[in-house]
Amino acid sequence: MLNKVFIMGRLTRDPELRRTQSGTAVTSFSLAVDRDFKSQSGEKETDFIDVVAWRSTAEFVAKYFSKGRMAVVEGRLQIRDWKDKDGNNRRSAEVIADNIYFGDSKRDGAGSDFAPAYGAPDRGYSSPVGGYAAPMGGADHFAEIDEEDGDLPF
């Protein structure tokens, strides 16, 4: 069985960081995701998708994301059945986030030009503080291409 979802959109509100009774961090937020096509009236439609992140992923989202920020979420679709206050049966669909990445650069010129990305717990990624360095050995390890032969090496 396969249940894998990738969505990219803008946060519709600031993430809410909460803790379960056992102290586990959980963050919920919603992404506005534009559809790839226009409706019959010629307007682009938008889906508002609920996302839930747990543990260190939840803490990461609450710390670095805010309303309007572009996010890329990789996760799984989960359907929950629940009862409303009137006792009616309800159903909700939400994405349980495994990995969350920045979909834009940090705004307002604050911080580094390199935005960190974050994977599932115990799989964090971030760019070096000073940016990226040239590969070890420098440019002198590249081979010259003989232009007379006319064939490209690929």
63-122 confidence digits (pLDDT tens): 999 999 999 999 999 999 999 999 999 999 999 999 999 998 765 434 434 344 444 344
Query: What is the pLDDT, as a whole number, of residue 42?
Result: 86
- pLDDT tens figures, 116-133: 444 434 444 444 444 444
In percent, how much of the chain has pLDDT > 70?
68
| CA 79/CA 63 separation, integer angstroms | 27
- Side chain identity at 5, as an amino acid letter? V
Query: What is the pLDDT, as a whole number, of residue 38?
Result: 85
pTM of the model: 0.66
| Burial annotation 61-76 (CB, 10 A radius, 16+ → b, else e) | bbebbeeebbbbbbbe
Is residue 18 predicted with pLDDT exceeding 90? yes
Asked if residues 95 and 24 have their Cβ atoms less than 8 Å apart, the reply is no
Question: Across residues 15-38, what is the average pLDDT?
Answer: 94
Reference 97, options 149, 25, 43; nearest CA is 25
pLDDT band at 143 (very low <50, low <70, confident <90, very high): low
Query: What is the pLDDT, as a whole number, of residue 146?
Result: 58
- pLDDT tens figures, 27-57: 999 999 999 888 888 888 999 999 999 999 9
